[in-house]
Amino acid sequence: MTTNNAVLAMAGIFIMISLLLGGIDFNEPNWLWFTFFVGFNLFQSAFTGFCPAAKIFKAIGLKDSNCCTKD
């Protein structure tokens, strides 16, 4: 698994969890702020290239995906 795949998987899981926790069954809309935070981090990393989750995944040993560079 690459860092990009891990970041996308983690973001998807966090969004689904926060939506479940803020949904009809738990009736706690404050969990939607967590969904906003995850989405905002994805959005800003598209422009700045800074992603805290990617740095963590790199530190634990996942490799970057170099899909657009030639070896």
Domain annotation covers residue 68: no
Interval 58-69: pLDDT, tens: 999 988 876 544
Using alpha carbons only, what angle is made at residue 18 by residues 3 and 61, rounded to the nearest 5 degrees?
Answer: 20
Q: Which residues of the chain have pLDDT under 50?
A: 68-71
Domain count, the chain: 1
Phi, psi of 47 (to 5 degrees): -100, -35
Domain annotation covers residue 70: no
Domain annotation covers residue 17: yes
Whether this model's pTM surpasses 0.85:
no
What's the rounded Cα separation, in Å, for the pair 35 and 70?
A: 36
Range of the domain at 9: 3-59
Domain annotation covers residue 69: no
Q: Buried b vs exposed e over 39-57: b needs ≥16 C-beta within 10 Å? A: eebeeebeeeeebebbeeb
